[in-house]
Amino acid sequence: MLMTKERRPAIRTLRGWAISVLQETGVIHECEEHGWMQDRSDPHARQRAFDAARQDPPAGISADDAVEKVRDVLDSIGDTCPECQVKA
């Protein structure tokens, strides 16, 4: 029986790819009410994301550049929803 590896959907930007990796590894989630990305502050999930980026970078991107992009995107995401803070 022929087995195929499940492929990730095509991502148009490197930032989009990094967000996808962060979601797949459980580093970030969306605010249920507003949809903002939030950092779960899980060190094990972060390590899984960096490992995934290093092992399977997008075509034409080095492993180090892929890890750096994941780190950049993660640094731009907070742990609270800006709209939920306005209500408080």
pLDDT digits (tens, 9 = 90+) for 30-52: 999 999 999 999 999 999 999 99
pLDDT score, position 7: 60
Residue length of the chain: 88
pLDDT exceeding 70 applies to what percent of the chain?
84
Query: What average pLDDT does range 78-88 have in this prediction?
Result: 80
Say which range, 2-6, 9-13, 64-68, has the weakest mean pLDDT: 2-6
The residues facing 28 across adjacent strands are: 39
Check: pTM over 0.85? Answer yes or no.
no
